[in-house]
Structure 1
């Protein structure tokens, strides 16, 4: 899929959207709109990790609108991602805050979706490898097919806390997970 097939909202083509607004209430709304746009874009492209510096440096269409000749600064982009992380839709992957894990679905949502599939498909009380969950034929048409390993592990940790799953290391250090019916 190309960026041209992603439908940007109309406000993406308005110049003020690319300039951090000075009025606090307006800025708060602007940051919320950027969060929604970034999460929608990441979901559409099944992106789990974003390197902010690379996105800015490579003129990512998400942060650089050629049509109106506007782009976000690195500082403003980091501020937006700080808001995303603070709202529970991401996690910093480095101390410099350049790479961020983007959760267009929170780990709890992935966990619920995964566990529903496990129950519906009869995989409770059985063992699956991470590969079967991420790449297996049974998940081809499901939203979590090709899920990032870090995101999947976060979801599985949620299920472990709920006593619905147990992650373990199998042969050749392959990770497996046993799902429990409760």
Structure 2
């Protein structure tokens, strides 16, 4: 299991489509929900209360699969 410091990342974090906005509505809704839960869990465990989207945030890229998210550029 991949970790980010002491935070355990879920298995789907290494799934490349997770980092690209999915075209099918139901799939996209599930994807966005997973992102929301992951971000909240990470911030809760790290006691991080503010995320600057103009800054690098560790969850928004995955060097293992060499991918960065474009999901949050359309997050609503």
- Normalised to the residue count of structure 2, the TM-score between the two structures is 0.88
1:38 aligns with 2:39: yes
- Give me the whole-angstrom Cα distance separating, in 2, the residues matched to 1:70 and 1:78: 15
- Cα distance in 2 for partners of 1:33, 1:18 equals 11
The within-5 A match list for 1:1-182 is 3-55=4-56, 60-73=57-70, 76-80=71-75, 82=76
Between structure 1 and structure 2, the one with the greater Rg is 1
Root-mean-square deviation (CA, aligned residues, Å) is 1.6
Q: CA deviation at 1:18?
A: 0.3
Deviation for aligned residue 1:78:
3.7
Residues 52, 78 of structure 1: 8 Å contact kept:
no
- Runs of 4+ in structure 1 off by over 6 angstroms are none
Unaligned runs of 5+ in 2: none
Q: How many angstroms does 1:61 deviate by? A: 2.2
Aligned residues: 74
Other structure's SS at 1:28 match = helix
Judging by fraction of residues, say which structure has more strand: 1
Measure, in 1, the Cα distance between the counterparts of 2:73 and 2:69: 10
SS of residue paired to 2:51: strand
